[in-house]
Structure formats: structure tokens, C-alpha cells
Amino acid sequence: MKDYCIAIHGGAGTILKSSLTPELENSYRNALKKAIDAGESILKDGGTSLDAVEKAIISLEDEPLLNAGRGAVFTNEGKHEMDACIMNGLDLSAGAVAGVSNVRNPISLSKAVMQQSEHVLLAGQGAMRFAEKVNAKFEKDEYFFVQMRYDQLLKAKETDSILLDHTQGEKNNKTKFGTVGAVALDRNGNLAAGTSTGGMTNKKYGRVGDSPVIGAGTYANNATCAISCTGHGEFFLRSVVAYDISCLMEYKGFTLKQACDKVVMDKLVKIGGEGGLIALDKNGNIELPFNSEGMYRAKKYANSEIFTAIYSD
């Protein structure tokens, strides 16, 4: 039996010490710790990495400070369109949803797609009908209304811009934060990964980013690693980031750190891609690389203290 471990993220971008009050910083660190505790509660009792990832992300989705679930940003039409994905490294099974609304926990709906359908990715109204079929928990629009998210939408509409939730247009802006995700290794040596997001503020035309796309924003394979990404989704899609890291490990013999550094600090940077990811390999090594100013992140090994961090230092 192996020792377990888990890592989570709450978004990456221009996150500066000057942009967060001590109280707000403490709130974010507490949200990270709460999610780690939720996931670890599964792992320490011998549960699966898949269930641990779901439990950790549910905690993050229920946190209005983060851009997923309850805290999802507003679309151009003043609605919420959420994406999520979960993958099991044991057998490469996966489930994902895109453009769903009023679903309290899109990560759980993704898991239902994996376990209760013959498909991998469901989108829009079809995904909503499936959610009803599997008795997913729905919430009214009021549940998803967060004032700072609405203020972001109004500001974006002033210039007709589409804003990355976690990147600040102004250094003193305190309201830009992003996508959530988790990766875990259970005591049976199985990996899992999951990602959930509300996307971009003021997004139009049913835009979907990398989060629900297998190999781009989310990937897990017991032979290599588990990955959950956060950042400018278009660049992560074009770079197939999550799978690229796995491929470098499988085909070129890179270590997890070498693969992460190559993709996040070299390949993404060359095409202008900002963001980061959390990565965990089959041996329990964890990497938390990012090429932005900061990334909300945390990790926990069995019988160790929780590590949380926000800034680049």
C-alpha cells in the first residue's frame, strides 16, 4: 500500500500581495485548506483518488470566492456557463460537461457522465437533460449571484472585452481569480484529476476553454501523471498541455518536474500562454508550476502538514 497525496489549485494569474488584504488572503488560504481536508478525508480512509478529487473540487465549487460552481463568472448575457472534467488514471475513463447552468456541482455531473453514460463530453442543453436524468443538484440563479462577479461583467461590458477571471487589468484590482482543480494519488497507487471553471467574464457564443477537454486542461494516467490546468484556455487547448506533459514522461523519459518545466515555462511562454497547473506522478511527486505572478495552490502528503501558497515566492 502506498501513501496518498493530493494537490489543488484555485486559479493562476496576476495575483500580487498588494492586491489582497490580509483578511482576503486568509479567506483564500482557508478555502484551499478546507478543500484539501475534504479530499484527504477520502484518501486516509482508503478511498479512491477519483472520489477524493471530486470531494475536493466540490468544496472549491461551493466557495463563492473562486470561479467555479457558486462563484462562476457571468457571460455576456448575464448567465453562468460552467465546464468541468474528471479523469481516472486507472483505466483512462473520463467524463466532462461544457456550458451547463444552474448545476450546483459540475464536477459531480462530470463523474456521472463517466459512470452513467457511454460518452465522455456532454454540452449545453443535452448535458442539462442528462443532469436531470441523473438527479443532479440544481440551484436557482440567486445561488450563483456574487456581487463582485457581476461588477466584473459590468466593467467588461464597458469596453466590450472578454476578461480572464484571474488576470488583473489593474494592479490594484482585487476581484480577479479563477478555475479550480485537484489531482490525487490513493493508497492503491491510482491517480485521478479534475478541473472545474466558470470560464471568462463576458464570454460569448458558447465559448469553451481547456478545462473540460481531455488532454488539454485535464488528464490522468497511472503510467505517468495526473494534471489539472488553469490559465488562458485557448493557449492550453492549442498546446494540449496536460497530455504533452504525460507524453514527455512516457516517450522521452522526462521526470515530472522536467516535463512541467518544459511545457509551462518554455512551450507556453513562447506562444504567449499564461497560467499554471498542478501535477502529480505515480510515485507521489508533486509539482505546482506557473508562469504568471501567482497561483492559488495547496498540497498535502500523508502524515505531513498542509502546504498553501499564493504568490510566486
Q: What are the tens digits of pLDDT across the range 64-94?
A: 999 999 999 999 898 999 999 999 999 999 9
**277 lies in some domain:** no
Q: What are the tens digits of pLDDT across the range 223-273?
A: 999 999 999 999 999 999 999 999 999 999 999 999 999 999 999 999 999
| Cell matching residue 268 | 507556453
> What pLDDT does 149 receive?
85
Please tell me the distance from the alpha carbon of residue 45 to that of residue 29, in angstroms, as a whole number.
Answer: 24
Please tell me the distance from the alpha carbon of residue 144 to that of residue 184, in angstroms, as a whole number.
Answer: 28
**113 lies in some domain:** yes
Catalytic residue among 14, 75, 167, 179: 179
**271 lies in some domain:** no
Return the ∠ at Cα 134 (arms to 120 and 121), rounded to 5°: 15
Please tell me the distance from the alpha carbon of residue 201 to that of residue 193, in angstroms, as a whole number.
Answer: 25
Dihedral pair phi/psi, residue 177, rounded to 5° = -145, 165
Model confidence, pTM: 0.94
Active site residue 224: no
**242 lies in some domain:** no
**47 lies in some domain:** yes
**194 lies in some domain:** yes
**115 lies in some domain:** yes
Q: Per-residue confidence at 170, pLDDT binned at 50, 70, 90?
A: very low
Please tell me the distance from the alpha carbon of residue 56 to that of residue 180, in angstroms, as a whole number.
Answer: 10
Q: How many domains does the chain have?
A: 1
182: containing domain: 5-213+294-311
**256 lies in some domain:** no
Give the whole-number percent of the chain exceeding pLDDT 70.
95
